[in-house]
Amino acid sequence: MDIKLQVVCLLLLSLLLIEENAAVTGTWVPGVAKGDYFTYEMYGVFTSNRSNTTIAIPQFEYNNTQWVKINITNIEDSVIEQVYVLHFKNQSETELDFKTDVNPAIENNGSGQSVPICAANQGAGDIVPAAGLIINETVSRSYAGGLRETNHANWSSSDDWGNCYFDKETGMLVEFHRTHRFTNSATDEVVEKTDVINLISTNRWEISANSSQTTLFIVILGSIIFALLFLTAMTYSFFIRKTRNPQTQQKPQITDKYTLHLLSAQARALCRMLCLSLKFTSHIG
């Protein structure tokens, strides 16, 4: 009896370990797909505690980049392959290849100075291996024309601090601010450099022009119809009050030609607005 009980316990333990391993493996899944792209603005800001000082900025730190586009070229397990297109202000371009592994169990998660990416649908307490950060919270913020659920992580030390936000669905970086402080102990001069990265466009959730036009049309049309209905109601109410006989309380009859013409014109305008709305809806559908 004891042997059978031990066997059953071992089987149950094995099943639990298998399910736990499967759950952990399924957690670190890229949220992007081949063909996705994400375009960023990237720049640095230098400040000094001395207003009259001239900051010597290295050549490679100049803000010569107009935008950077990350093209997702391949997904293999937890590895995301990317091609960076750096578009410079002089209209020249260069391309760089990067790989990022979103699985924190892999020691070397990134290659070079690529933008950090995390796995899809992460939450507070999860690790962003490419940045060495832990997600603090999930908040809603607006990026590239859409309201998105984003994972926020931050860090702070005496000479380095910052914040970054990752889109929860895709795991892609949407905002990054990092400030590093350089102190010259001999002159007491302090220079702070802030690196800024902001997502400006993507094909994952960009709002199309047709969608914006449709929304604007519906708002304008609704306002016109409401105004016509209000005007019709006010006209009819005014005429009723004017013609009602307070002694007989008889129901008034609309006999005034001007009032009849006005109500008729308003009714025709409402019909035209409704027909136009139906025609536009069928056209965009």
pLDDT at 60: 60
Domain residues for the domain of 59 are 27-202
> Which of 147, 180, 202 marks a domain boundary?
202
Q: What is the pLDDT of residue 255?
A: 53
Cα–Cα distance between 139 and 133 in angstroms, integer? 17
**Measured distance CA(49)–CA(26) in Å, rounded:** 49
Residue 226: inside a domain, yes or no? yes
Q: Count CB neighbours of 101 within 10 A.
A: 23
Q: What is the pLDDT of residue 105?
A: 84
CB atoms within 10 A of CB 193: 16
pLDDT at 52: 79
Cα–Cα distances in angstroms (integers) from residue 26 to residues 8, 22, 119, 120, 166, in the given order: 27, 6, 10, 10, 19
pTM for this prediction: 0.65
State the total domains in the chain. 2
Last residue within a domain, chosen from 170, 202, 234: 202
Identify whether residues 224 and 277 lie together within a single domain: yes
Q: Do residue 144 and residue 272 come from a single domain?
A: no
Pick out the chain residues at pLDDT < 70: 1-26, 58-60, 107-112, 206-264, 266-267, 269-271, 273-285
Whether 213 and 84 map to the same domain: the answer is no
Boundary-marking domain end, from 142, 173, 202: 202
